[in-house]
Chains A and B, each alone.
Chain A
Amino acid sequence: MAKFIMIHPDKCTGCKNCVAACSFVKEHQIRPAASRIHVYNWEREQVSVPMMCQQCNDAPCVSVCPTGAMHRVFGSSLVEYDSTKCIRCRMCVQACPFGNAVYDSVTDKIIKCDTCQDNPACVAACPVKAIEYVEEDVATRSRKKAFAKKFKDAFQEVA
């Protein structure tokens, strides 16, 4: 069963520990601009939303890549990037509907989330479990169950 990174904006405090941890693990320095995860804050509403590569099944970044640098290994749930094949045309950057593939001029690479080879540093760094690395089949269970409980409570009240 494949795992994926699930975000919970309702829990996110906007602390950016994930952003710092990602750049530290990937670049051995703290450079949010090079982080594969970003957190956007809406200060008036005090809401924060983390964003990273969704590892799309039918990924536009893979479709537009002319060299196969951006690719998916058969059977894998990850969209992978091979910098040796990459010609830095940045078509993937243009194509990603979420803006989650980014060209980094400092390292001359495309940067995007690779789930740290199945052990995402951002998830480990999150102090409030606003980002979780979970099995696909249980990923949305807590949300569904939370709503289901409201029904359950309503039924119990009526009964």
Chain B
Amino acid sequence: MNGWTGVTLRINLSTGDIKKEATNLKDAKLFIGARGLASKILYDEIDAKIDPLSPANKLIFAPGPLSGTMAPSMGRYDVVCKAPLTNLIAGSNSGGSFGPEVKFAGYDMIIIEGAAKKPSYIWIKDDKVEIRDASAVWGKNVPDTTDALRAETDEDAKVACIGPAGEKKVLFASIMNEMGRAAGRSGVGAVMGSKLLKAVVVVGTNPIKIADPEAFEKAVMTARKKITEHPVGGTGLRMYGTNVLINILNSVGSLPTRNFHDGYFPEADKTGGETLTAKYVTRPRGCFSCVISCGRATKVTNPKYASEGEGPEYETAWGFGADCGIDDMDAIIKANYICNDLGIDTITMGSTIACAMDLYENGYITTKDTGGMAIPFGSAEMMVKMVEMTGNREGFGDQLAEGSYRLASRYGHPEFSMTAKKQEMAAYDPRGVQGIGLNFATNNRGGCHVRGYTISPEVLGVPFKVDQHATEGKPELVITFQNLTAALDSTGACLFTTFGIGADDLAALMSAVTGIPYSVEDFMKAGERIWNLERLFDLKSGITAKDDSLPERMLKDPIMTGPSKGEVNHLDKMLPEYYKLRGWDTKGIPTQEKLTDLTLA
């Protein structure tokens, strides 16, 4: 086979069974790979109502057909399972070289079932697959685990593992690969921990075959040129990393500040990409086949937080920064490093700490609850401490480890949680940017920015500029971005390629690599199919139209200062049209006609 390897690896940790199955080519055409194909498998194989932390859940590591090829910036993979944070379908996306290595080992996907009886790891070298004892590394942080397992296997093996947070089932624990790259959101690391699976270690020496090398080379050169010549992908992200967005979002009054009380942070620049580049970056880093290199190798010299590592991304700098009312970049970066080492999603961590600070300032939690810590907004030192306590579930950290929705509910004020479907919204204020609010409310994994990144047209003006405050036309825009991203994720491509390329370039790459002709319509329809399938999973897991919402604060409390002062989100003006354009009924359920059209009936 071309693009796909044709083999799916299935490992049952309860029984120790290891099977190599033929990848279902019919489904691969329809759902592409990675997020899409793995979601199809999860949908078919598990009951959506299961406890995500029970052995009945399955954990799927899934690169796409373009992962591991030289398609530019397209070496990613997804981790798909039912998520403990949201009780919805999870698909967490990560870069580095782990996804390509799975392909080189000969697999389109690794499906992990059941749960081990003792700490274990999986060692894969091409055909050879073993479940091994991980007792010696249980409890170790991510870098130490990575080093130790390489010493036991192969010094250049690619390692995806959990840290203490995953072991302790922190509901937003990440899976980390190659130390600094994260499949961050929704708690996929906790699912791995619930299976007593510490790591997946891979070495591969097989080829990925290309159906039409000549057409492929041409499509690669075209895509490379478009990506690298674009000011966002080619210049902004390379020069300043994703954190270039801090000053941009602040300048349009949509940088959520102090747990979304405000949308403007006067001290933002101290935490932005320009400051990061000037004071902390040692060099840019790139994932497999990347031509952008937005990754940041950084160093903090302040003795209090002195350390080296990767990050922060924009959402991280926001979560530990503006959202907590903190402008101490040393502390923000240190918090990021701790998340990398312990295996924690930085977005939910930052927003959960912001929620705790908000509850504290309003007197709903006191120093009695926090174990003596005073935690008003702006407490940088306490913020760093809380990250560490959460990863290890120590003291008050045990409560933070449940995420902001459960934390705020415990103290009787769920409205203090800035979540959609129990997942913390990322760094874009839905009151200042209307479309992203609709995306958060309707997103299949809750408050997620990357699966419908309307910030691109609404703020950055790519590929065209629309009014961030308008609601007209936003449902259609959100749907287009959600569908395109679903298809794009499923190829293994990075979202950032879309600043330069579109569905036509991706369809050309898919056709050349797989030999199956994908038209732009086929490609976009695959995206719509994947979105609707995820929706079906979520509906089965128990959500209803009332869950397609935003925190009350977004709908009723206007932004207090800055360029978007006075704005609220007008979800009610957009949601009915969104359902209609999606071909869903007024309860948000896909119609039979729509499902038939998408071959999902």
Chain-A contact segment, one of B205-213, B443-451, B542-550 = B205-213
B295 on interface, CB distance cutoff 8 Å: yes
Give the chain A neighbours of B228 by CB distance below 8 A.
Answer: 127
Chain-B contact segment, one of A16-24, A82-90, A134-142 = A16-24
Can you list 29 A-B contacts with CB-CB less than 8 angstroms, sorted by A residue number? A13-B285, A13-B286, A13-B290, A14-B285, A14-B286, A15-B286, A15-B293, A16-B288, A17-B290, A20-B68, A20-B69, A20-B70, A20-B289, A23-B207, A24-B70, A29-B210, A33-B104, A33-B205, A40-B156, A43-B178, A43-B179, A44-B143, A44-B179, A44-B308, A45-B308, A46-B282, A46-B310, A127-B224, A127-B290
B373 to chain A, nearest CB (A): 31
The distance in angstroms between the C-alpha atoms of A46 and B209, with both chains bound, is 30
Knowing A28-B210, A29-B209, A30-B208 touch, does A15 contact B291 (C-beta < 8 A)? yes
**Which B263-296 residues have a C-beta within 8 angstroms of A?**
282-293, 295
The distance in angstroms between the C-alpha atoms of A20 and B207, with both chains bound, is 10
Number of interface residues of B (CB under 8 A): 38
Please determine whether B207 and A46 come into contact, CB atoms closer than 8 angstroms.
Answer: no
Give the chain A neighbours of B217 by CB distance below 8 A.
Answer: 24
Interface flags, A33-67, vs B, CB<8A=1, else 0: 11000001101111000000000000000000000
A31 on interface, CB distance cutoff 8 Å: yes
Please determine whether A128 and B293 come into contact, CB atoms closer than 8 angstroms.
Answer: yes
Please determine whether B289 and A16 come into contact, CB atoms closer than 8 angstroms.
Answer: yes
B297 on interface, CB distance cutoff 8 Å: yes
B180 on interface, CB distance cutoff 8 Å: yes
Knowing A13-B286, A46-B180 touch, does A127 contact B207 (C-beta < 8 A)? no
Please determine whether B97 and A16 come into contact, CB atoms closer than 8 angstroms.
Answer: yes
B292 to chain A, nearest CB (A): 8
Please determine whether A24 and B180 come into contact, CB atoms closer than 8 angstroms.
Answer: no
The distance in angstroms between the C-alpha atoms of A145 and B121, with both chains bound, is 50
Question: Which residues of B are interface residues toward A (Cβ below 8 A)?
Answer: 68-70, 72, 97, 104, 143, 146, 156, 178-180, 205-210, 213, 217, 224, 228, 282-293, 295, 297, 308, 310
The distance in angstroms between the C-alpha atoms of A123 and B224, with both chains bound, is 15
Give the chain B neighbours of A125 by CB distance below 8 A.
Answer: 70
Please determine whether A31 and B104 come into contact, CB atoms closer than 8 angstroms.
Answer: yes
Please determine whether B207 and A10 come into contact, CB atoms closer than 8 angstroms.
Answer: no
A118 on interface, CB distance cutoff 8 Å: no
Which 4 residue pairs across A and B have the least CB separation, nearest first? Answer: A15-B286, A13-B286, A46-B297, A20-B70
The distance in angstroms between the C-alpha atoms of A33 and B293, with both chains bound, is 24
A32 on interface, CB distance cutoff 8 Å: yes
Please determine whether B288 and A15 come into contact, CB atoms closer than 8 angstroms.
Answer: yes
B539 to chain A, nearest CB (A): 39
The distance in angstroms between the C-alpha atoms of A41 and B295, with both chains bound, is 14
| CB < 8 Å neighbour of B70 from A10, A21, A43, A46 | A21
Give the chain B neighbours of A33 by CB distance below 8 A.
Answer: 104, 205-206
| CB < 8 Å neighbour of A46 from B104, B285, B289 | B285
A42 to chain B, nearest CB (A): 10
B281 to chain A, nearest CB (A): 11
The distance in angstroms between the C-alpha atoms of A111 and B291, with both chains bound, is 26
Please determine whether A17 and B70 come into contact, CB atoms closer than 8 angstroms.
Answer: yes
Please determine whether A15 and B210 come into contact, CB atoms closer than 8 angstroms.
Answer: no
The distance in angstroms between the C-alpha atoms of A32 and B105, with both chains bound, is 11
A9 to chain B, nearest CB (A): 10
Please determine whether B286 and A32 come into contact, CB atoms closer than 8 angstroms.
Answer: no
Q: Which residue of A lies closest to B288 (CB)?
A: A16
Give the chain B neighbours of A27 by CB distance below 8 A.
Answer: 207
Number of interface residues of A (CB under 8 A): 28
Give the chain B neighbours of A32 by CB distance below 8 A.
Answer: 104, 205
| CB < 8 Å neighbour of A43 from B146, B207, B289 | B146
Q: Which residue of A lies closest to B95 (CB)?
A: A15
Q: Which residue of A lies closest to B217 (CB)?
A: A24
Q: Which residue of A lies closest to B290 (CB)?
A: A15
Q: Which residue of A lies closest to B309 (CB)?
A: A46
Please determine whether B179 and A30 come into contact, CB atoms closer than 8 angstroms.
Answer: no
The distance in angstroms between the C-alpha atoms of A13 and B285, with both chains bound, is 4
Give the chain A neighbours of B208 by CB distance below 8 A.
Answer: 29-31
Please determine whether B284 and A13 come into contact, CB atoms closer than 8 angstroms.
Answer: yes
A121 to chain B, nearest CB (A): 10
The distance in angstroms between the C-alpha atoms of A17 and B228, with both chains bound, is 14
Give the chain A neighbours of B285 by CB distance below 8 A.
Answer: 13-14, 46
The distance in angstroms between the C-alpha atoms of A125 and B208, with both chains bound, is 18
Q: Which residue of A lies closest to B294 (CB)?
A: A13
Q: Which residue of A lies closest to B150 (CB)?
A: A43
Q: Which residue of A lies closest to B203 (CB)?
A: A33
Give the chain A neighbours of B206 by CB distance below 8 A.
Answer: 31, 33
Q: Which residue of A lies closest to B227 (CB)?
A: A127
Give the chain B neighbours of A20 by CB distance below 8 A.
Answer: 68-70, 288-289
| CB < 8 Å neighbour of A17 from B143, B178, B289, B308 | B289
Please determine whether B283 and A13 come into contact, CB atoms closer than 8 angstroms.
Answer: yes
Give the chain B neighbours of A34 by CB distance below 8 A.
Answer: 207
The distance in angstroms between the C-alpha atoms of A47 and B458, with both chains bound, is 37
| CB < 8 Å neighbour of A10 from B69, B97, B283 | B283
- Which residue, of B72, B208, B283, has the highest number of chain A Cβ atoms within 10 A? B283
The distance in angstroms between the C-alpha atoms of A13 and B282, with both chains bound, is 11
Q: Which residue of B lies closest to A33 (CB)?
A: B205
Please determine whether B288 and A30 come into contact, CB atoms closer than 8 angstroms.
Answer: no
10 more contacts with CB within 8 A, not counting A15-B289, A46-B310, A127-B290, are A10-B283, A11-B283, A15-B286, A28-B210, A30-B207, A31-B205, A44-B143, A44-B308, A45-B308, A46-B285
A47 to chain B, nearest CB (A): 8
Interface flags, A95-129, vs B, CB<8A=1, else 0: 00000000000000000000000000000010110
The distance in angstroms between the C-alpha atoms of A16 and B72, with both chains bound, is 11
Q: Which residue of A lies closest to B213 (CB)?
A: A28
